[in-house]
Chains A and B, each alone.
Chain A
Amino acid sequence: KQEVTQIPAALSVPEGENLVLNCSFTDSAIYNLQWFRQDPGKGLTSLLLIQSSQREQTSGRLNASLDKSSGRSTLYIAASQPGDSATYLCAVRLNSGYALNFGKGTSLLVTP
């Protein structure tokens, strides 16, 4: 069974800092990896999708990398803002099915 771990579980940074969120997974036979954002009491917003053949994806201030062989992905957030405060979830889809296997998330607080 695919295990997805996110470190740290919580993070507090002052506005303007660059930060890195980490995601690791145990089964490298993945189809793709997706990063989501979840605001309190809300659904999930898709941030970035990385296919297994890709090494990174960028969207605005966000950059996600994927190292399939080592079972790791990172989400880099540049010049953080208070509006970035949310829980960030990493999810992996295996080659063998459609289910997304989620980590427990990193709760990010960006203080003004």
Chain B
Amino acid sequence: SAVISQKPSRDICQRGTSLTIQCQVDSQVTMMFWYRQQPGQSLTLIATANQGSEATYESGFVIDKFPISRPNLTFSTLTVSNMSPEDSSIYLCSVALASSYEQYFGPGTRLTVT
């Protein structure tokens, strides 16, 4: 398994500002992902964070809005840029083990945009 931590656990931000969320894993993993869970909705994959190259974004998500960094195999950041109230969600980091592709999730960052 993998133990994942995220910072911050929650934040309240003003419209138009940006927030950077950090994800730290206790072991080296190849595959790291960022998901969003909007209120009352299921989880949606934002992007796959690739170490040493640009992230791979899912349809409907763009790099300018959600820039992602992956400097090494244990750490990644997701920035939510130019926030609006529609960005209020829980943002979750996850990793997949290469042996089984079982995915593990961090505790999430609860973001409220006012």
A residues engaging B (CB < 8 A)? 4, 31-32, 34, 36, 41-46, 49, 51, 89, 91, 93, 98-100, 102-105
When C-beta atoms are compared, the residue in chain A nearest to B96 turns out to be A98
Also in contact, A31 and B101, with CB within 8 A (given A43-B92, A100-B45, A105-B42): yes
What is the CA–CA distance of A4 and B43 in the complex, to the nearest angstrom? 11
Asked whether A49 lies within 8 Å of B43 as measured between CB atoms, the reply is: no
Size class of the B contact interface (CB-based, 8 Å): 20 to 34
Known contacts A98-B31, A100-B45, A102-B43: A93-B107 contact under CB 8 Å: no
> Does A43 lie within 8 Å of B42, measured CB to CB?
no
For A48, give the chain B residue with the smallest CB separation: B102
Binding site for A on B (CB under 8 A): 1, 4, 6, 31, 33, 35, 41-45, 48, 58, 92, 94, 96, 100-108, 110
Interface pair B108/A43, CB less than 8 Å apart: yes
- Per DSSP, chain B at the interface is strand
**Nearest-CB residue, chain A, relative to B105:** A44
| Contact across chains for A104 and B42 when beta carbons are under 8 A apart | yes
Task: For B42, list chain A residues within 8 Å (CB).
Answer: 4, 89, 102-105
B42 — nearest CB in chain A belongs to which residue?
A102
For the complex, give the distance between the alpha carbons of A99 and B60 in Å: 14
